[in-house]
Amino acid sequence: MTDDNPTCPDLWELDNGDIAVIGRDLTAEYASRLPVDVSIGTDERLVVLPRRMLIAAKDDIPHE
């Protein structure tokens, strides 16, 4: 789910089945605008992926 552009977002499945994500870290920009029931842990970051990327990956994401 990537191309040769070294700055493009990416996602892939790890050996253990978890999904790894590379995207823009917008934690600081969005922290004050999160819904009241959403929080970001000290070891977490809010990562934004382009909508078109997730739509393109939809067929490759397992449903189970």
pLDDT digits (tens, 9 = 90+) for 5-16: 556 678 888 999
Least confident interval from 1-10, 21-30, 48-57: 1-10
Mean pLDDT, rounded, of the chain: 85
How far is residue 40 from each of residues 8, 18, 20, 49, 53, measured CA to CA in Å?
A: 24, 19, 17, 17, 23
Handedness of CA 48, 49, 50, 54 (dihedral sign): negative
pLDDT digits (tens, 9 = 90+) for 27-36: 999 999 999 9
